[in-house]
Structure formats: C-alpha cells, structure tokens
Structure 1
Amino acid sequence: MLPRSTQRPRFYGAAAPGTAQLPQSWYKPSVQKMNLKSGGRHAATLCKSPGLVDRRTVFDRRGDGGGSPERDEAVRVQLGALNLDKSIIQNGASGKVQIPVGFFLIRHPKGDVLFDCGNNDKIITNPDYWGPFVKALDPGRSPDIAIDNQLSKINVKPSDIKYVVLGHFHVDHAGNIGKFLDSTFVYQRDEIRNAFWPAPGYATFFITDDFAMLRNSVGGPMPSKYKTIELDGDLDLFGDNSIYIHRTVSHTPGSQIMVVRLPKTGTVVLTSDAVYLQENLDKNILPSVGSVYDPVGMLDAYAWVKRVHDAEGGDILFAHDPDVYKAHKHSPEFYE
C-alpha cells in the first residue's frame, strides 16, 4: 500500500488490449500502471482551463457515499477490447483494429474518482446482452476483466469511489454504472437526455439497461434516484484545479474531457471518445459519420485538447488508441 497523501491526486487508469497485431501476452487482462511523460506544470501552479459551468444541478438523495482516498495517484485499468473496422474511428482507414476498453481511477485526498466504467460486466456471462449489432464488436469476456476484479487488484472496492465521471454514455464507457450506486455521477444534461432517447441514427451504442436504474420511477420532483451532478458546462470537480471536466458537443451531445493535474507528472488529458486516436488529433481526421454527433464540435474538441497541451505540457491519453495504450504503464503502477 502506498502512504496516504494530503497533496495532489495520483492517477490510476484501466484499459483493454490494443491492436490485433499485438502479441498474445498483451491481450491478457491485467491491472497495470501508467507512466506519463513529465512535461507538464506542477499541479499547484497550473493555470485554470477555459470554460464555465452555466448550470449545475446536484441531486443528493442518499447521503454522503464514496470512500476516503488512501493515495494521491492515478491509474489506468483494463476491461477488455473491441474489434472493429478502423474506418469507424478514423474516416478513410482500411482494415480491422482491436482497441482497448477500460477506465481511469484518480485517487484524490478528497475522494476517489472514476473516469468512465467500461463495458457492462453482464456481457461476460450473457453474450446476447448487447444485441446482435454491438455484439459483433467481439468484446473480451474473461471473468478477470470484471470491474470489481480489476479494482480489487489495486485494493479498491466500488464502494470506495466518490465520483463517477462519464465521458459519455456509450456501451463501452458507461456499462458498469449499476455497480457504483453509492457514488455521485457526473455527466452533462444533454448526454443523459440523448442516452435515454437518442437522435435518429445514433441509438446503436446506447444500451438503456446500463443506466436505466438512475431514473427515479417512483415520482417526485427529482429525476435521478441517486446522487448526481448534472452539468451544462465545465466543472472544477474539487475546486483546486486538480481535476477539471470540460464539456464538448462532439462524439455525442454531452461528451466530457477530463484534465488531471498531478504534482510530479504534470497535466494529463483524458479524451474519452472526443478524440479517438493520436493520428486523428495530429491530422484533424474525423471518425466515420456514425461515430460523430457534431463534426465541427469534434474538431473544436481537438483544438481544445491541443491548447491545453500546448499551455501545460504533460500527456494525452486516449480511451481507444492501441499504440498509445502500449506506450504507457498500467495499474498497479500509477502516475504521481
């Protein structure tokens, strides 16, 4: 166990295997640490990211919830992989690609934070849970990739998590919401509305059963049965600039990018699916039409990520880039 810190957060993250060309040993589910480049500013001296919270609604119906942090760190955790045509995530590309799926854990003195929560563990025992179309993505189904098992490898329980921040509500990012009902969920108002009733042509990757339990079905003024921070903009989660959430209408109507500022590593940008690949970011390549809700908004997201990186240095971690995934360490190692 690492000593408890009262300083800035460390960062753990979880993700799945990468491309089909990788050696078989890399496909094995594991919790491994990440090793970010240390080019960013110190967390205590970082400037604020641009953005403003226009409206924030907090629904608190279950008391305090969330565990106390034991570390000041960040980790990436592995939850399987998806196999798909590369053109889905990079317009004009050819061939197949295997992309990682996972989540990130940030251990902050004020509480542990998850960014995304991966594929629903139900697919491990029920291959039909996703339906025929999404099932064709051939996700990993080893029992070891269950989110509880992966967290336990770094001595964390679902009940320890104070906040679950959703990059968006697609199957591979919001699947395990139901395992964190003692946590506070942080998402954009446009995203939750779209998830329950998507725009025509964009319903495929929302599985309502992944998040239906959030809805208060008993009646009353509050739509959420559980603790929720519903945003229409950006949020400095702990008020210390260490974890900053940025709204972007891009991949989905309410996608979120997270900026994590660490005392030794510097700035880490977690893009979720607002940016799929490093090459997409470098060359301003969009994904296929079915993978981007707002193409102009996605290019704006690329520009925002570049501005943060230019101003603060550090590193950019993509949810699904297999090459970037291979280049970093994974839990139980961590970024400080």
Structure 2
Amino acid sequence: MPDNIKLQILPTGTMHADLTWLLLDPSRVMASRAEKNRPAHWVGVPTHCVFIDHPEGKLLWDAGVPRDWETRWAPTGLQEYFPVDEVTEDQWLDSRLEQLGYEPHDIDHLVLSHLHFDHAGQADLWNDAPRTRVICSKDEYEGAFGFEGYNLGAHVKNDYARLNFETVEGDTEILPGVTLLQTPGHTWGTMSLQVDLPDSGTMIFTSDAVYRSESYGPPSVGAGVVYDSRKWFASVEKIRSIAERTNATVVFGHDEEQITQLKVTPAFYS
C-alpha cells in the first residue's frame, strides 16, 4: 500500500429521527400494551463524508445533506422525520471543501455509497465538474434511475440526475489500498469503503450497510429502512468477516456515540 495516504472524516451535520427507523430491536423501540403511551425514542443521526488525499488522486466518499433540505425534501414528506436540525455553517459539504482548500472540480473521484438524500444531498455540486469521476454501484444506478417521478422513498432524483456516473460491479480497488465493497440490502447497491492505511491500519466505512454499533452486534439487528433484509444481513456478516481478518476499525454510518470517539477534520488518519 502507499505510505502517504491521509484520510479525514468530515462531519456534515446531524439529523434527528425516531430510533425505529434505524434499529428494529423490540426490547428498545417497540412498546408493549402496558407501555402504549411511551414516547418515541428520538436520536441523533450524524452524517459524515470521508476525504482521502492519495498519491494517485483525491477521493471524496459521499456528499452529505443539502443546505436546502427542508424544501428539497418537502415533496417526500421525510423532512418531518429526518430534520437536519443540528448543523453549523462550517459543516455543510461546500464549507468543508473550502476548509480543505479545494473546489468540487479539484476532486478526482466522488464515490457515492448509495443515492439516498443524506448521502448524495450535495452531489449536485459536481453537476458542472466534468473532470471528476462520479462513481456508484451498477445496481444502485439502475435502481435510482429506474422509477418515475420526483422520488422513491429517500432517493430524490434532483440530487443526482445531472451527474455523469461511472458504475462498478463487485468489490473494486479504485486506488491502491482503497477498495469499494459491495454491501447491498439497505438499497439496491449500497457500498462500503475499505481503506488500508500504513499507520492506522484498515478502516471500513459502512455507510448505511450498518447504521449503528447496535446494528452490528453480534448478533446483527435489522433496521426499519432496508430494501432487502436477507442481503442486508449478509452484508453485515461480510463486513464483519473482513474486519476480523484485517483487524479493521469499523466506522458506522450514523452512530452518534462513535462519531465523538473518532478523529475528525482537521485531524486525520494515515
């Protein structure tokens, strides 16, 4: 692997939502008849992107939530269930790029784990950045463009409709030491990101293949937003197998406790 990779985690704002969307654990989120008036368990749902400064190019993993989330999501109704109500000006992705000293066209590879509105929300920054390779899985591309209308659940076409995509199939080493893992189930073609770092070791960014530490287990615990539960469970076990083999640090997609324990920008892993 190259000996001079630098990786930064970029927090991009926190949504809040009922935990049931993220975790189907009956002991925690499903009320019994005696508890039918128990309030919903409302939790933080942090979002993040990953920036990799690699000797063979600059790579950005995911594109965060959009600044105009409330109006952009209004036709879906989901702005009432996932409000981006904890975000500072410096956390929006365009601000993060400015902090790094880059503009969208400076990014060589924009890889989208999947095309939900909290992972591709500011992907439209690359609508007019022709030198940037925009990459998602083939199955995700076909699903995300395979419906009529404004949205299908959390897939909002305006986020990604003008992008010029390249697609990948199977696990793909996109740069030396940087591998895209096919981990479907949450959506048609959700991917995870494996980065093998010389000093920090292997890191696996699960995106929504695994929302939280409780989802990972063992045993793995299903989520409320899953396209194919069988594939989702298989993907969790695939991640676990790779993590155990490589002694990897596994970074979950939306874990409000874990994000406070990680090094985030301007700190970095190498």
What TM-score comes out, normalization by structure 1 length?
0.70
**Aligned equivalent of 1:83:** 16
Equivalent residue, structure 1, for 2:202: 267
Question: What secondary structure is seen at the aligned counterpart in 2 of 1:233?
Answer: coil
- Aligned equivalents of 1:261 and 1:187: distance in 2? 20
Distance 1:189 1:198 in 2: 15
List aligned pairs for 1:33-112, cutoff 5 A.
72-92=5-25, 93-94=28-29, 95-112=41-58
Q: Indicate which of 148, 154, 157 corresponds to 1:208.
A: 157
RMSD: 1.9
Secondary structure of the structure 1 residue equivalent to 2:140: helix
| Cα distance, 1:98–1:231 mapped onto 2, change above 3 Å | same
Residue 72 of structure 2 is matched in structure 1 by 129
**Cα contact 1:8–1:108 (8 A) shared by 2:** no
Partner SS state of residue 155, structure 2: coil
Aligned residues of 2:263 and 2:269 also touching (Cα < 8 A): no
The answer to whether 1:249 aligns with 2:184 is yes
How many residue pairs get matched? 248
CA distance in 2, matches of 1:315, 1:234: 19
Q: 2:166 aligns with which of 223, 226, 229?
A: 229
Cα displacement (A) at 1:154 = 2.6
Counterpart check, 1:309 vs 2:249: no
Percent identity between matched residues is 25
Structure with greater contact order relative to length (CA < 8 Å, sep ≥ 6): 1
TM-fit CA distance, 1:8 = 3.6
Give how far 1:142 is off.
Answer: 4.2
Q: Unaligned stretches of 5+ in structure 1?
A: 1-5, 10-71, 215-225
* 2:209 match: secondary structure: coil
* Cα shift readout 1:159-191 (whole Å, capped 9, x = no counterpart): 221101111000000111121233101111211
1:270-313: per-residue Cα shift (whole Å, max 9, x none)? 1000011112111210001xx11111111111111111111111
Supply the distance in 2 between the matched residues of 1:234 and 1:120 (Cα, whole angstroms): 29
Opposite residue 79 of structure 1, the aligned amino acid is T
Q: Point out the structure with the larger helix share.
A: 2
Q: Is this contact kept in 2: 1:162–1:184, CA < 8 A?
A: yes
Whole-Å separation in 2 of the counterparts to 1:335 and 1:284: 27
2:83 — aligned with what? 138
1:332 aligned counterpart, secondary structure: coil
CA distance in structure 2 between the partners assigned to 1:143 and 1:213 by the alignment = 26
Alpha-carbon offset, residue 247 of structure 1:
1.2
